Amino acid sequence: MKILVTGASGLLGSSVARSLIVLGHEVTTLQRRASGIPGARDVQGSTTDPAAVAEAMTGVAAVIHLAAKVSMAGDPREFERVNIGGTRNVLDAAQEAGVTRFVHISSPSVANAGSSLIGAPAEPATPASARGEYARTKGEGELLALAADSDEFPVLVLRPHLMWGPGDTQLTERIIERSRQGRMPILGSGAALVDTLYVTNAVDAIVAALDAVTRVHGEALVVTNGQPRPIGEFIESLARAGGAAKPKLRIPVAPAIAAGTAVDAIWNLSEHDDEPPLTRFLAEQMSTAHWFGQRRTREVLQWQPAVSFAEGMAALAQHYDR
């Protein structure tokens, strides 16, 4: 099958593209810089450019749309341009090209307004109450994708939750680096349960969705390992796997949320090359339970995570010991 993968310069997108090539598919990738993936037809460009999207879409039968602006802060207009406008361009081009399978990669943050989620299903995206511009615009993009769903153009949305593993710079390396610097806090007791997703399990679930979308479509599924852990344990496990000391910094929840709210208000008033040290969304994520029922996800995808939490941590420790 001829498949387009957008956002293939990132860890998840490139890993999905490589996996599809190994399985014998013809893969086209679309991203702003060269993907470097052997065997892929590589189109360099942005999803915000309709011409580049149309070029990448030529001849494909299926699309996996991962490209997004991912950040804890930034210009709202840029989030809208990529996560909403870019998604609209990809959907329009896919429908014009006669694509018959569309898998849209979203985030559980699109349906999280800061309260605890305990064994929760994939609730509908609520952009108006989402925390931060990333979650808001990813929510809008998800709604666009689901609105395009039909029997002729089946759309399935996956929301990977807290993906981690070797090569991950979004979560894994940040926690390890901040732990090494003594700047990684545990908020409150660190006992709030969270579910996470090992990177190769995420890849396998997305590949499985290409088949699943022909059977079930028009809905969103949260994807996790299905092994909730206390957030403090998760952070400490990542730190140890990366050779860092166990985080000792403890911050009460209320002051952390207040500090994150203040950072949200002032961070974009000046130029920054890095991510903010804390946001309200981050403070809430680190202090409230958020884990999700996986029964529906596994039923639809006909998939089980192959790598357990413990096995993933062992692989991560081996990666950093190289």
Residue numbers annotated as active site: 134
CA 242/CA 179 separation, integer angstroms: 9
Q: How far is CA 164 from CA 172, 174, 255, 257, 308, in A?
A: 6, 11, 27, 24, 12
Q: What is the CA radius of gyration of the chain?
A: 19
CA 83/CA 77 separation, integer angstroms: 10
Q: How far is CA 283 from CA 20, 176, 227, in A?
A: 37, 18, 22
CA 203/CA 319 separation, integer angstroms: 18
- The DSSP secondary-structure symbol of 123 reads P
Instruction: Report the DSSP pairing between strands 117-120 and 101-105.
Output: unpaired
The two three-digit tokens of residue 259, written as one number: 């500090």
DSSP β-bridge partners for residue 64: 5, 103
Contact 205, 158 (CB under 8 A): yes
Contact 116, 289 (CB under 8 A): yes
Q: Which residue reads 């961070």 in tokens?
A: 267
Contact 156, 296 (CB under 8 A): no
DSSP β-bridge partners for residue 6: 30, 65
